[in-house]
């Protein structure tokens, strides 16, 4: 029985779209676009998060070996984005579809209003039967402005658009219970939302052409699944992988979704960099906030200290006072001045309501 998905984010990794010589694999791109078109024809909404711009740029220009690494990436990405979108557009057109380029940076997800504006654009593109092709804007995103990799970006997009599923196409069949090259290692077929320890099996080796690796995929997939979105990690080089995944006939690792989170919690899950200040809480408050199966708000009685300043509606990072470990993000119900006035007091209004509290699954 086909999986009951209606809106998918499909992330296509660099190693899927790149040949061993570092140039684009046009045949594989053609086949993947045909699969996306087939899903679209069956009534599914598909958003593609695609790597490969730098590889596409490399097919157009050879830079001197001594060129600065950051500048080299910027130049190749600037050239390659045009090339890559053209490749997608040409292939989508053969199926009667339009593709739209969406280039983003981390900054685009930090401001709630900006986040919603971008969300509205995506939804209108989908309404108009256009396939969004998303990539990081490598021309302006350098160092601290960069996503860990496009897996992180894909997770953000999936949460932003309330996708039913995120499909990450890599160059392996999924997450293995040991070294994939070792005899006897098998793909872990399913990971529950509350599972722990699975990352112990994962190699920290990065992919040949991408910035990330399987460990970052694990952490991101776990976070997205906790928000109520299915995540599948599969081999993008396998013939017919997308329809096979939906038909449940493909080998893959499935991160089973938890309870669906609200739109604001999905934003908070990826908004660490937007935190305006730190709220330090005592052990009792942490225990109440993290108790399984029980939704609790952060009350002033559990707050030990405020570091920094914030206004109503700002994001604050919540940390354990004893360890200094951050374990949650929340949207403040009032400003820092009132929070300091009520510090440690009972019977005062919640500083962070549980509807606007996101607990870090890795904490």
Whole-angstrom distance, CA of residue 325 vs CA of residue 348? 25
207 is in an annotated binding site: no
Comparing C-alpha atoms, which of 311, 308, 219 is closest to residue 269? 219
Comparing C-alpha atoms, which of 215, 218, 244 is closest to residue 231? 218
Contact 305, 317 (CB under 8 A): no
Comparing C-alpha atoms, which of 186, 187, 269, 263 is closest to residue 225? 269
One DSSP character per residue, 154-206 reads: HHHHHHHTT-SEEEEEESSSS-BSS-TTSTT--B--EE-TT--SGGGG---PB
27 is in an annotated binding site: no
230 is in an annotated binding site: no
Whole-angstrom distance, CA of residue 312 vs CA of residue 292? 28
42 is in an annotated binding site: no
Whole-angstrom distance, CA of residue 267 vs CA of residue 159? 7
Sequence-distant (6+) residues with CB within 8 A of 282 are 302, 303, 304, 321, 322
Both tokens of 122, joined, read 């995506």
**Binding site residue list for ATP:** 11
Annotated binding site for substrate: 51, 138, 150
- Annotated binding site: which residue ranges? 11, 51, 138, 150
């Amino acid at each position: 029985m086909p999986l009951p998905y209606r809106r998918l984010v499909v992330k296509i990794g660099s190693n899927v779209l790149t040949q061993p010589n570092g140039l684009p694999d046009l045949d594989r791109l053609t086949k993947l676009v045909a699969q996306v078109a087939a899903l679209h024809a069956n009534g599914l909404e598909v958003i593609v998060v695609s790597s490969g711009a730098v590889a596409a740029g490399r097919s157009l220009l050879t830079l001197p070996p001594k060129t600065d690494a950051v500048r080299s990436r910027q130049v190749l990405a600037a050239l390659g984005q045009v090339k890559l979108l053209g490749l997608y557009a040409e292939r989508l057109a053969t199926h009667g579809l339009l593709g739209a380029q969406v280039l983003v940076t981390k900054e685009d997800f930090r401001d709630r209003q900006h986040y919603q504006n971008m969300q509205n654009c995506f939804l209108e593109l989908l309404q108009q039967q256009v396939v969004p092709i998303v990539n990081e804007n490598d021309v302006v995103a350098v160092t601290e402005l960069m996503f860990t990799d496009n897996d992180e970006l894909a997770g953000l997009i999936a949460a932003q658009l309330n996708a039913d599923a995120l499909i990450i196409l890599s160059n392996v069949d999924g997450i293995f219970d040991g070294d994939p090259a070792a005899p006897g290692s098998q793909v872990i077929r399913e990971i529950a939302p509350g599972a722990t320890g699975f990352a112990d099996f994962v190699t920290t080796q990065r992919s040949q052409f991408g910035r990330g690796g399987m460990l970052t995929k694990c952490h991101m997939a776990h976070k997205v699944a906790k928000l109520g979105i299915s995540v599948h990690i599969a081999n993008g080089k396998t013939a017919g992988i997308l329809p096979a995944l939906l038909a449940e006939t493909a080998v893959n690792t499935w991160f089973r979704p938890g309870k669906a989170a609200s739109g604001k919690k999905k934003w908070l899950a990826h908004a660490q960099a937007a935190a305006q200040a730190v709220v330090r809480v005592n052990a009792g408050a942490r225990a109440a906030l993290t108790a399984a199966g029980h939704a609790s708000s952060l009350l002033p009685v559990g707050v030990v200290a405020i570091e920094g300043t914030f206004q109503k509606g700002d994001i604050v990072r919540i940390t354990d006072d004893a360890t200094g470990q951050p374990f949650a993000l929340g949207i403040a119900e009032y400003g820092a001045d009132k929070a300091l006035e009520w510090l440690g007091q009972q019977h005062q209004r919640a500083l962070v309501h549980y509807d606007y509290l996101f607990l870090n699954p890795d904490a």
